Chain A
Amino acid sequence: MNNYNTIVIGGGPAGLACAVKLHKNNVSCLIIEREQYLGGILKQCIHDGFGLQRFKEKLSGPEYAERFVNEVFELNIPFIVNAFVVSIEKKDGYTINVSTVEGIKTYTCENLVLATGCRERTSKQVEIHGSRPKGVYTAGAVQHLVNVDGVIPCKKCVILGSGDIGLIMARRLTLEGVKVEAVYEIMPNPSGLKRNIYQCLVDYDIPLYLSHTVKRTIGYPNLEAVEVMEVDEKLKPIEGTEKIIECDCLIVSVGLIPENELAGRIGVLSDARAKGARCDLDFETNVEHVYTCGNATHVNDLVDYVSESGEVVADAIRDRNDSERKLIDIEVKGRCAYLVPEMIDVNKKNNKRVMYFRSNKILKNATVTMKVDDKEILRRVYANLRPPEMERIVVDYPELSENSKVVFEIEEAK
């Protein structure tokens, strides 16, 4: 009884939405989750604002996740928790070896969905010198401590990086009586959403220093202060701008990267721009029968789109036929940071396909086009495009062939 049509690895918002839709599509599936409970990162995102697009309500993270988790319970969709995928073998479909509380278990499936989410970049991945004192955390680690474990880890903190989780934790810690000295961002523009700058920093008079970075930690075994410096246009610290800020905690919020360790081991290729698994318009990767969705594909800023991509996968699996795949790459030009999906299977029907992109620069009146063999099939003008804000488009592709040239371009207003 360990055979399923589809196995979904990851019980966060992408995996849950995918599994619920698969079940409704009459496709048998199993969710494998390594944590104790389903819900993924949303379990610790207690702030509100989730689900505005999908439910037209401002939900907290747990409320959003539990809408799907409760469906999993009600529909009796099989899942296992405390289960860690150890290895995946490819033979007559996929064989998945899972470490569980009852020992190693083996499952087989025809289709595999990698809904493994993303991970935080750590202080070791940005250049911070000094000893390794206690008191240096990623924003997500602090979020778990405060919102799940009920532990307030500090009295006075400095935040490096203006990512959304860092901004949200600045507010959260302030509410719990922690003094948040400041947020330092190495880039000349904030990396979090504007509304979070406003409601998390401006509301609480927390200063944001752009073009500034933390260069060194001071103190051992406990953090006592950090040294901050201003940086030039090339992001190089400017000598003479050193400032020492006393604090017992440094929170690092310097970005997220899709998690694709399992994907890599079975030959799934990653995209250099989006950093996640490359996929076609069904979110099927270069490896047949292996799908990607949610933050494992690219880091989304709204969970609504994470769920949406899980559902696209579920419908693709329902409609799957085993015609030969012919993949072509979409060429990306101009001011585009990334476009997802990156490929098209020209043998599939590709009408009305959801795609996501970001610009690599703040742009006003930018023109976005999609061309097939120099013929425009989509054109949109955006009053504003900002790298922190992902955009969603629906593209209706004509019939394509192996030789079709598909080009996506973001042009700056002249």
Chain B
Amino acid sequence: MKELTCIVCPNGCELTIDEKTLEVKGNKCPRGADFAVNELKAPSRTISSTVKTSFKDVPVLPVRVSKEIPKEKIFEVMKEINRVTVDKRIKSGDVVIANVLGLNVDVIATSDILLNEEHYGKH
């Protein structure tokens, strides 16, 4: 028996999973059962971070991975994220790193912060 906390939604159900039969208990919804099974077989996470930009008004741009990545790849993906400098005024949802490390996941911008001058004018 392994004990976990479900991270799918804010309910944070306390789960137990039988390592042999993969029977899950404590979940209020089916997503909790899927989470527990994945957590045992191939745990994955989404990560959020920032990338440097070449613009003085916005030193860093928030980014995240477009889909979950294997947990053991988190620090390798972080290395890739910290290698990038954005030099175009891209918008939220635009791809910053395509298919990072061949994981079939993109690193995408999560803010329109680089377009602020357009909306608010120069200060």
Contact = CB atoms under 8 A, between A and B. Distances in A.
Interface in A60-86: 60, 62-63, 66, 69-70, 73, 81-82
B105 to A, nearest CB: 14
A204 to B, nearest CB: 9
B16 to A, nearest CB: 14
Nearest to B39: A198
6 contacts: A37-B116, A46-B111, A63-B111, A146-B50, A150-B59, A198-B7
* Chain A, interface residues (CB within 8 Å), range: 35 or more
A141 interface: no
Interface of A: 36-37, 43, 46-49, 52, 58-60, 62-63, 66, 69-70, 73, 81-82, 101, 146-150, 172, 175-176, 193-195, 197-199, 202-203, 301-302, 389
A62 B47 contact: no
B70 to A, nearest CB: 13
Interface of B: 4-7, 9-10, 12, 14, 45-50, 52, 59-60, 62, 64, 71, 74-75, 78, 82, 92, 110-113, 116, 119-120, 123
Given A62-B112, A194-B12, 20 more contacts: A37-B113, A37-B116, A43-B111, A46-B111, A49-B10, A52-B9, A52-B10, A58-B46, A60-B111, A62-B92, A62-B110, A62-B111, A63-B110, A66-B92, A150-B60, A175-B74, A195-B7, A203-B71, A302-B10, A389-B12
A301 B110 contact: no
Contact of B123 (A36, A58, A147): A36
Contact of A175 (B5, B6, B47): B47
B120 A60 contact: no
Contacts of B12: 193-195, 198, 389
Contacts of A301: 10
A66 B111 contact: yes
B92 A48 contact: no
Nearest to A101: B123
The listed residue with most B CB atoms (<10 A of its CB), out of A101, A195, A302, is A195
Contacts of B120: 36-37, 81
A146 B82 CA distance: 13
Contacts of A46: 48-50, 62, 64, 110-111
B6 A195 contact: yes
Contact of A197 (B5, B48, B75): B5
Contact of B110 (A37, A60, A176): A60
Contacts of B46: 48, 58
A47 B78 CA distance: 14
A302 B12 CA distance: 13
A176 B82 CA distance: 9
A48 B74 CA distance: 15
A48 B64 contact: yes
A106 to B, nearest CB: 22
Contacts of A194: 5, 12, 14
A47 B48 contact: yes
A47 B4 CA distance: 21
